[in-house]
């Protein structure tokens, strides 16, 4: 099965996006809109280099911290849970603001992502558990004096600010013209919620993309309420999530047109296709191209794929892409 329609879609019930974060992001040193690349039959929003980091996550982290510090100037430490990209973004923001950072990673987080976070100056704690266990530990730390939990999942204030921060990405797309369809990776749903808000405002259909082994939004839309799924693992690490964020759920329930699930093998094939076009996109980012192929003919619609990350695990990327292309070239 490729596309699963959302029976609860009601764009009129979706909150309007905010442009408050856009002005803030434009004020940051090094800010520039990421490229919207026109490829064969679609456009790709390339988030492989956003403010010097290889993913879009810094948009949400920087805005959430900005908003929280205005109310809590006593904060000296930022803490978060992550599969890799969000944690690195929080660590970078902490360093820029002269704060300490502590990042909890699930046991199956790969060494490259851990080392990248440590390279930003953060303390990294790998827990004996999954991503949801890491989220619970970071939330508990947030109760300590002077500690701010910067979460992109749950019902916290920072989770809501993170969604608002991601609105910048879609405001940049709007600046490039009008589009009919956006395919966006889901994970906990914060980015997809921002996409849903943009879609409801602009009349653009939004389809969420999930790993077949971690399709928590697909299950939740079918049930009509947030639903936890088993997550045996996927190379799309940023999407390896068992449940959607409470802050994102209302926008997802009303604003997502439907979902498409893809396998690791399909994401890998999409990575190789993008590499052949000269683009270095990781598993989670390439999932949207894999989903587009499963959708098939889009009837001439103007389609945007959100490619959320670059090669955040270089060894894995080389195994999936470089060696394959080398073998293909030798034939």
Given a cut of 80, whether residue 201 has pLDDT beyond it is: yes
Query: What pLDDT is attached to residue 53?
Result: 98
Q: 156 in a domain, yes or no?
A: no
Q: 186 in a domain, yes or no?
A: yes
pLDDT band for position 330 (cuts 50, 70, 90): low
Mean pLDDT, the chain, as a whole number?
95
Secondary structure (DSSP) of 172-207 = HHHHH---SEEEEE-TTSHHHHHHHHHHHHHT-EEE
CA distance 268 to 43: 19
Q: 260 in a domain, yes or no?
A: yes
Same domain, 229 and 146: no
Secondary structure (DSSP) of 41-100 = SSEEEE-SSBTTBSBTTHHHHHHHHHHHHHH-TT--EEEEE-SSHHHHHHHHHHHHTT-E
Query: What pLDDT is attached to residue 6?
Result: 98
pLDDT tens-digit readout, 4-38: 999 999 999 999 999 999 999 999 999 999 999 99
Q: Where among 117, 151, 185 does a domain terminate?
A: 151
What is the average per-residue pLDDT within 281-292? 98
The parent domain of residue 115 ranges over 58-151
Query: What pLDDT is attached to residue 163?
Result: 97
Same domain, 66 and 132: yes
Same domain, 210 and 284: yes
Same domain, 170 and 44: yes
pLDDT band for position 2 (cuts 50, 70, 90): confident
Same domain, 192 and 318: yes
Question: What's the helix, strand, coil split of the chain in %, to 5?
Answer: 45, 15, 40
What is the average per-residue pLDDT within 172-187? 98
Q: 157 in a domain, yes or no?
A: no
pLDDT tens-digit readout, 245-276: 999 999 999 999 999 999 999 999 999 999 99
Number of domains in the chain: 2
Positive or negative, the Cα torsion across 148, 151, 154, 155? Answer: positive
Query: What pLDDT is attached to residue 322?
Result: 78
Q: 230 in a domain, yes or no?
A: yes
pLDDT tens-digit readout, 60-75: 999 999 999 999 999 9
Same domain, 26 and 71: no
Same domain, 144 and 278: no
| Domain CATH for 97 | 3.40.50.1100
Alpha helices (runs of H) in 203-282, residue ranges in sequence order = 216-223, 249-255, 264-276
pLDDT band for position 84 (cuts 50, 70, 90): confident
Same domain, 52 and 101: no
- Burial class of 31 by CB neighbour count within 10 A (0 to 12, 13 to 18, 19+): middle
Q: 179 in a domain, yes or no?
A: yes
Same domain, 22 and 71: no
Cβ count within 10 A of residue 269: 18
Same domain, 230 and 166: yes
Q: 133 in a domain, yes or no?
A: yes
Cα–Cα distance list, 55 to 184, 189, 200, 284 (Å): 14, 16, 25, 10
Q: Where among 91, 116, 151 does a domain terminate?
A: 151
Tokens for 3, please give them.
């596309």
Same domain, 131 and 182: no
Cβ count within 10 A of residue 152: 32
Same domain, 184 and 292: yes
Q: Where among 129, 151, 173 does a domain terminate?
A: 151
Tokens for 80, please give them.
């978060």
């Amino acid at each position: 099965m490729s596309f699963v329609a959302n029976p609860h879609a009601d764009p009129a019930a979706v909150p309007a996006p905010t442009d408050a974060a856009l002005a803030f992001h434009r004020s940051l040193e090094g800010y520039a809109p990421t490229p919207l690349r026109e490829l064969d039959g679609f456009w790709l929003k390339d988030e492989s280099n956003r403010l010097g980091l290889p993913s879009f996550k810094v948009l949400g982290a920087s805005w959430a911290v900005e908003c929280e510090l205005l109310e809590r100037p006593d904060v000296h430490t930022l803490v978060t849970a992550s599969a890799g990209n969000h944690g690195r973004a929080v660590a970078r923001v902490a360093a820029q603001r002269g704060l300490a950072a502590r990042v909890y990673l699930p046991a199956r987080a790969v060494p490259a992502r851990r080392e990248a976070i440590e390279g930003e100056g953060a303390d990294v704690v790998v827990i004996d558990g999954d991503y949801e266990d890491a989220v619970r530990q970071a939330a508990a730390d947030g109760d300590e004096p002077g500690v701010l939990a910067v979460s992109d999942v749950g019902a916290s204030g920072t989770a809501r600010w993170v969604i608002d921060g991601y609105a910048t990405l879609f405001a940049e797309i709007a600046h490039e013209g009008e589009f009919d369809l956006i395919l966006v990776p889901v994970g906990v749903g914060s980015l997809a919620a921002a996409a849903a808000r943009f879609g409801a405002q602009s009349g653009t259909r939004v389809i969420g993309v999930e790993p077949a082994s971690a399709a928590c939004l697909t299950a939740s839309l079918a049930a009509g309420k947030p639903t936890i799924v088993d997550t045996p693992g996927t190379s799309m690490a940023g999407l390896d999530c068992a449940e959607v964020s409470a802050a994102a759920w209302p926008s997802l329930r009303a604003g997502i047109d439907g979902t498409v699930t893809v396998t690791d093998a399909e994401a890998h094939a999409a990575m190789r296709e993008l590499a052949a076009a000269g683009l270095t996109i990781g598993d989670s980012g390439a999932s949207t191209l894999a989903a587009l192929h499963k959708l098939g003919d889009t009837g001439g619609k103007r389609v945007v794929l959100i490619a959320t990350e670059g090669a955040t695990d270089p060894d894995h990327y080389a195994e999936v892409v470089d060696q394959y292309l080398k073998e293909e070239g030798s034939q």
